[in-house]
Amino acid sequence: MRLVAHPVPDAPLYALMIKACSMGIPQPNDNLWKPRNPLLAKEEKTSKRGRTAPDTERALDLFREMTLRYNIRPTAEVYTAIIAACVKRDDMYDKGFGLFKKMVELERNRMSSEGHDSTSFAPTRATYNALLRGCARNKDLLRARWILAEMLRTAQAKWQEFMEKSKKGEEGVQEWELLEVEEMRPDTNTMAFLFYTYASHTTSSKAVPETEGKKELEGKAEERASEVTSVSPVSEPPEPMDESKLVYSLPTSSQAILREVTSLLDRIKSDQGQQSNLLSSVQINSKLLNSYIAVLSAHCRSSQVVERISEVVVGTKENPKSLFEETGTSVNGYTCFTVIDACGMMEHSPDTYHLACEMWQRWLSLVENATFHRENPLKAKEIGLDSRTISDCWSAMIRLHAKYNQVDEAMKLVHEFARLYPPASLFNSLTFEPSSTSSSSLSPRKGVQEISPLFSSTSLTHSIRGRDISRIQNTMSQDPTLQFRAVQILHLRLVELETRPKDLAYLSWLLKSYEHQLQPKRPKSLQGDLFTSRQAAYNRIVQQRTSSR
């Protein structure tokens, strides 16, 4: 199709193909069974968690084909797509920033030439967001802070340029000029990636006195704003990235990180609704607040982390209104998982366990009310109700119960999860009969009486009711699963008890069933006696050649 319809694709089509490679969309051949022969085996691209790595090599091949073979001049969209494909891979992270430097150099050469070319290479918000995503993956706070400062500098310079033009002429700032400035400013994704980079950054000290350097760090946001606003308007693009030009040293303690992130969040809230402010394009939504919770759970002191997270999500006795309620933001599935997983990493305390249970109740009500998330996978992923988040949230709560020695509650969750999302192997041996009432039943086949008690009426009092089991059967390929690493603590608890062999055997069987469901199946053409005889013949030939040597 490519050779007939588009023998030589243009730059927009190359940008679209490279972007598709960077998205990491699973392909039909990715999950095919690979033989164990090292000469024929190939590394799997799809992990057991469902993630698919971006096809960076293919994206680079398309970029070389475009620039070297067909001599097509790349555009800013092409550079943004190839940068996004590189920074999503840890081994290609530096190459992505190298392409970014080349992109900025091309724009600077274009602006310095006498006749300005119409093709612009100026980095856009999408370019900076792609770089920030890579910074969050690689814990590169140094470059992430530089990117934010560069975005604010260029946006403010362009805003001042338009304002000076409006003062000289009679007309004010045009609408297209406002849109151009808005596209240069940081948005919600920008600040969320920056917050996640702060959360992943490790410091040498976590317990620092509150009063140490307080006066110096309190006005850091105001100092940054004054420096950005004092930049004279320039028509040339920013200089290539040079880490030696970074005037801000990295924070040396967790308290310094918390102060910086809190000051940025306060600045975002104060800039809402005013077009002249630098962070007016940032909308406060659940994605931004979830990243803020990640920073709190990573850098707060153990004695304050529960209180700080409660102020954001559920409120406290002193502040009954949470930050979600103040900003009019609703809690989604990612919020519940972030809080429950953070509680599992904290020290034992009743407040921590109570907060996790409260977020679990919100998670259950969220899933029960969202009846559309199975039919619309894109919407489900947007609000955190996709299969991966469901698996993570259930695993985090099971792990939390096991950590607090609540083995009975943990096993109840395991049974409930198996009832709602049974392994694929059970669909061949069970007959599903969705009842007309609010509950769903599982009727076992005659040959599997030994596993029928596992799906009895034993369930949680707060379980999800009214769930259509046929809906699960139709979407089995996307169903959540449990993995051994996620519930390893529960497995260890059952081993230590030595009085619950049935629960231990059931948990082991269930985990093996889910593991078998995730493994790629051998094609039918490679099954049977014919394949076995061919494999045996191949092994004999290899053995003969080895012995002859």
Residue 196 contacts residue 294 (beta carbons within 8 Å): yes
76-96 average pLDDT score: 95
Q: For residue 358, what pLDDT band results from cuts at 50, 70 and 90?
A: very high
- Percentage above 90 pLDDT, the chain: 52
What pLDDT score does 393 carry? Answer: 97
What pLDDT score does 167 carry? Answer: 72
Task: Read off the amino acid at residue 58.
Answer: R
What pLDDT score does 238 carry? Answer: 39
Comparing 281 with 517, the larger pLDDT belongs to: 281
As a whole number of angstroms, the distance between CA 111 and CA 130 comes to: 24
Comparing 541 with 252, the larger pLDDT belongs to: 252
DSSP per-residue letters across 135-161: HHHHT-HHHHHHHHHHHHHHHHHHHHH
Domain with 456, as residue range(s), is 412-526
What pLDDT score does 145 carry? Answer: 95
| 153 found inside a domain | no
The CA-atom distances, in angstroms, between 67 and each of 22, 59, 73, 75, 97 are: 18, 12, 6, 11, 19
As a whole number of angstroms, the distance between CA 319 and CA 312 comes to: 10
What pLDDT score does 112 carry? Answer: 84
10-17 average pLDDT score: 94
DSSP, collapsed to helix, strand or coil, labels residue 432 as strand
As a whole number of angstroms, the distance between CA 27 and CA 30 comes to: 5
Q: What is the pLDDT of residues 219-263, one digit of tens each?
A: 443 444 344 333 333 333 334 444 444 445 889 999 999 999 999
Range scoring the smallest mean pLDDT among 32-36, 63-67, 197-201, 478-482: 32-36
What pLDDT score does 443 carry? Answer: 37
Count of CB atoms situated within 10 Å of the CB of 401? 25
Q: For residue 410, what pLDDT band results from cuts at 50, 70 and 90?
A: very high
| 90 found inside a domain | yes
Residue 422 contacts residue 430 (beta carbons within 8 Å): yes
Highest mean pLDDT among 368-377, 506-515, 527-536: 506-515
- Percentage above 70 pLDDT, the chain: 69
Q: Output the six-digit token pair for 93.
A: 């992270």
What pLDDT score does 273 carry? Answer: 82
* Domain end residue (candidates: 122, 138, 171): 122
Comparing 354 with 156, the larger pLDDT belongs to: 354
DSSP state of 434: -
Cα dihedral: 453, 455, 460, 464 (round 10): -170
Range scoring the smallest mean pLDDT among 211-215, 248-252, 264-268, 318-322: 211-215
Q: Output the six-digit token pair for 268.
A: 């975002």
What pLDDT score does 162 carry? Answer: 77
Comparing 32 with 362, the larger pLDDT belongs to: 362
| 200 found inside a domain | no
372-378 average pLDDT score: 70
What pLDDT score does 111 carry? Answer: 85
Range scoring the smallest mean pLDDT among 270-274, 281-285, 304-308, 540-544: 540-544
Q: What is the number of structural domains in the chain?
A: 2
Distance of CA 459 to the CA centre of its chain: 31
Residue 405: partners with Cβ closer than 8 Å, 6 or more residues away: 493
Residue 177: partners with Cβ closer than 8 Å, 6 or more residues away: 162
pLDDT at 466 over 50: no
b/e code 413-444 from CB counts within 10 Å (16+ = b): bbbbbbbbbbbbebeeebebeeeeeeebebeb
* Domain end residue (candidates: 95, 122, 149): 122
| 308 found inside a domain | no
Residue 405 contacts residue 489 (beta carbons within 8 Å): no
| 362 found inside a domain | no
455-471 average pLDDT score: 37
pLDDT at 1 over 50: no
| 79 found inside a domain | yes
* Domain end residue (candidates: 97, 122, 147): 122
What pLDDT score does 39 carry? Answer: 38
As a whole number of angstroms, the distance between CA 355 and CA 462 comes to: 16
pLDDT, the chain, mean: 78
The CA-atom distances, in angstroms, between 459 and each of 368, 394, 417, 504 are: 15, 14, 10, 18
Task: Please list the residues that pair with 431 across neighbouring strands.
Answer: 443
Q: What is the pLDDT of residues 176-200, one digit of tens each?
A: 777 778 888 999 999 999 999 999 9
pLDDT at 11 over 90: yes
Q: Output the six-digit token pair for 299.
A: 């850098």
Residue 199: partners with Cβ closer than 8 Å, 6 or more residues away: 291, 294, 295, 297, 298, 299
| 47 found inside a domain | yes
As a whole number of angstroms, the distance between CA 520 and CA 516 comes to: 8
Radius of gyration (C-alpha) of the chain in whole angstroms: 28
428-432 average pLDDT score: 45
Supply the angle between the helices 188-200 and 141-168 in degrees, to the nearest 10. 150
122-136 average pLDDT score: 95
For the chain, report the end-to-end CA distance as a whole number of angstroms.
49
User: Nearest-5° angle of CA 290, CA 220, CA 248?
Assistant: 90
Q: Output the six-digit token pair for 372.
A: 């559309």
As a whole number of angstroms, the distance between CA 280 and CA 470 comes to: 46
Which residue do the tokens 């020695």 mark? 405
Q: How many CA atoms lie within 13 A of 38 on its CB side?
A: 1
Residue 241 contacts residue 146 (beta carbons within 8 Å): yes
pLDDT at 448 over 50: no
Task: Read off the amino acid at residue 241.
Answer: M
| 372 found inside a domain | no
As a whole number of angstroms, the distance between CA 131 and CA 100 comes to: 9
Residue 44 contacts residue 34 (beta carbons within 8 Å): yes
DSSP state of 204: S
Residue 366 contacts residue 336 (beta carbons within 8 Å): yes
pLDDT at 206 over 60: no
Count of CB atoms situated within 10 Å of the CB of 470? 11
